Amino acid sequence: MSPPRALVTGGGIRVGRAIALALADAGFDLVLHYRSSAGPAREVAEQVRSKHRDVQLVQADLATVEGCEEVVSEAGRVDLLVNNAALYEAVPFADLTVDQWDRMQALNCRAPALLTRGLLPHLARSSLEGGGLVVNIGDIGGDRPAPGFAHYSVSKAGILMLTRALAVELAPKVRVNSVSPGTVVAPEDLSPYVLESIRQTIPAGRFGSAEDIAHMVVFLATKAPYITGQDFAVCGGRSVAGPMLAG
């Protein structure tokens, strides 16, 4: 029997990189999507090969319909789809342009839907225990918005509902869950003061790591065949305590 195969979008950097490497450790062959991070994606691919797993690289802009179609066409057989690629930016609502709004929704919410639909024939035939699996990477901001991130928060709220809707519609052959990080890889432009202010809102007392998200994805793929339609906040308790600050 062939090893299970996972497609990770945005798999060259940050959380996507950690997810790809953790899945390779768990026995998955990989399809790594990237848009502009060709160098980092190639480095991840070499690390995956060093773990004796097969890997395929696919470049595309998932904010376009054509980019999504290209990834579906090139990916082939997929047992697990991890919709990780996303745009994150702060824009005051009064200054938000139509183009900024549309690109955010296209990449963060429409692309996961198009990829899931396109890969559905493969997912529905998966031999994974519990059936094929889609894991959408959400954000606790999809439920608790921060000022300046209206278009981002709306896109992540859409991911949460997409997860629930598809879990109902695609059962029992395909499971759909989401993982919502808190602050696990902080934006590089935040000052030490802002970072400390955010840290103080986290009951666990620290920021998480990309590996924390990757561990949850691996759990859902290998240890949780009866779980579908659920969102898992990996945030150190930040989603249930304190005000939401940007970051």
Q: Which residues pair with residue 55 across a beta bridge?
A: 30
Q: Which residues pair with residue 56 across a beta bridge?
A: 31
Q: Measuring CA to CA, which residue among 140, 137, 136 is closest to residue 237?
A: 140
What distances in angstroms separate CA 132 from CA 15, 167, 170, 172, one per listed residue? 22, 11, 10, 9
Confirm whether 152 is a catalytic residue: yes
Q: Measuring CA to CA, which residue among 97, 80, 95, 88 is closest to residue 27?
A: 80
Cα(185)–Cα(89) distance, rounded to whole angstroms?
A: 14
Q: Which residues pair with residue 8 across a beta bridge?
A: 32, 82
Residue 193: enclosing H or E segment and its boundaries? Answer: helix 192-199
Q: Which amino acid is at 153?
A: S
Of residues 34, 88, 152, 193, which has the active-site annotation?
152
Long-range contacts of 165-172 (CB under 8 A, 24+ apart): 166/116, 166/134, 167/228, 167/229, 167/230, 168/229, 170/120, 170/123, 170/124, 171/228, 172/131
DSSP-derived letter for residue 107 is: I
Burial state string for 164-176 with b = 16 or more CB within 10 A and e = fewer than 16: bebbeebeeebbb
Q: Which residues are part of the catalytic machinery? A: 152
